A and B are shown apart, each in its own frame.
Chain A
């Protein structure tokens, strides 16, 4: 999982390209995943979360539910940015 941050950036870039999403800012670990400055709309976020789940399963053999009750009920959402998402994944897999 040491390459998780860069893997997520690569995944997001590929996702943006594949879905022809218009992005104005540079993609990095601080890129917003939802909210007014996010790179995509709510349905694209749903699709991206699914992509991340499948990626973790295929590349790291980790089965994780990113939309678990725990993720959804956190005061601070794990889906704010790639950075918070990465931290959440590491947290979940270390438990």
Chain B
């Protein structure tokens, strides 16, 4: 049933890896980022768009439908991280993180759900973080925005369950990407030490969980979160 996958924030990092990974598996892929992608493939469409713009999100989904007929799987990968003591956190930073992480996930989920409801099939994968269960100092805003995504996942999964659409969330550990460049080394070490399995996550760890969530055999799995690293 899953033919077309839409991945947000896929110009680099995990999003880029997942794009190439699922193209190799034979899926049609739609990617979305704020700037151009150098990825060229017959089954790939890149749409420039900002996940925080309702108009852009509608356009990305419409272009996906025009090119491939539908969106079967949505991977809400686009995200931003920021570390700061709560007392020193500027309002602009709070707005920025919530708009990209939460609003972006909401807008894409809403627009793709509309297509999925009609075809009575869909898989939505959201991204959280191990910073949520760890309640890490210095990550209040980032973890809060991801915690909101976990709640969104739970409630949305109920609201659209009648349409054979599942909504699940993965919570990766730190992975060597641009996202954690802003996090001090000692802080990363602290996180790794709190994991049951004390190592960085890999892109393959992430795709393994997503493979499970999007499988046709996972139609009975919804509203679930899986943290990597044993949390």
Q: For B162, list chain A residues within 8 Å (CB).
A: 43
Q: For A53, list chain B residues within 8 Å (CB).
A: 114
Whether the Cβ atoms of B118 and A54 lie closer than 8 Å is yes
User: Looking across the interface, which residue of chain B has its beta carbon closest to that of A44?
Assistant: B162
Of residues 47 through 82 on chain B, the ones whose CB sits less than 8 Å from some CB of chain A are 58, 62
Mark each residue of chain A from 47 to 74: 1 if its CB lies under 8 Å from any CB of chain B, else 0. 1001101100100000100000000000
Whether the Cβ atoms of A47 and B117 lie closer than 8 Å is yes
Query: B-side binding surface: helix, strand, loop or mixed?
Result: helix
Kindly count the residue-residue contacts between A and B in the assembled complex, taking CB atoms under 8 Å apart.
13
Q: For A63, list chain B residues within 8 Å (CB).
A: 58
Q: For A47, list chain B residues within 8 Å (CB).
A: 117-118, 163
User: Looking across the interface, which residue of chain B has its beta carbon closest to that of A49?
Assistant: B114
Assembly CA distance A8 to B86 (angstroms): 52
User: Looking across the interface, which residue of chain A has its beta carbon closest to that of B163?
Assistant: A47
Q: For B117, list chain A residues within 8 Å (CB).
A: 47, 50
Assembly CA distance A50 to B58 (angstroms): 13
Assembly CA distance A47 to B115 (angstroms): 10
Q: For A57, list chain B residues within 8 Å (CB).
A: 62
User: Looking across the interface, which residue of chain B has its beta carbon closest to that of A53?
Assistant: B114
User: Looking across the interface, which residue of chain A has its beta carbon closest to that of B110?
Assistant: A67
Whether the Cβ atoms of B118 and A51 lie closer than 8 Å is yes
Of residues 112 through 140 on chain B, the ones whose CB sits less than 8 Å from some CB of chain A are 114, 117-118
Please give the distance in Å from B67's CB to the nearest CB on chain A: 15
Please give the distance in Å from A64's CB to the nearest CB on chain B: 11
Please give the distance in Å from A70's CB to the nearest CB on chain B: 14
Q: For B114, list chain A residues within 8 Å (CB).
A: 50, 53-54
What would be 12 A-B contacts, judged by CB atoms less than 8 Å apart? A43-B162, A47-B117, A47-B118, A47-B163, A50-B117, A50-B118, A51-B118, A53-B114, A54-B114, A54-B118, A57-B62, A63-B58
Please name the 8 residue pairs, one residue from A and one from B, whose CB atoms are nearest each other, closest first: A50-B114, A47-B117, A50-B117, A43-B162, A63-B58, A50-B118, A51-B118, A54-B114
Q: Apart from A47-B117, A47-B118, list 11 A-B contacts with CB within 8 A.
A: A43-B162, A47-B163, A50-B114, A50-B117, A50-B118, A51-B118, A53-B114, A54-B114, A54-B118, A57-B62, A63-B58
The residues of A with any CB-CB pair to B shorter than 8 Å are 43, 47, 50-51, 53-54, 57, 63
The residues of B with any CB-CB pair to A shorter than 8 Å are 58, 62, 114, 117-118, 162-163
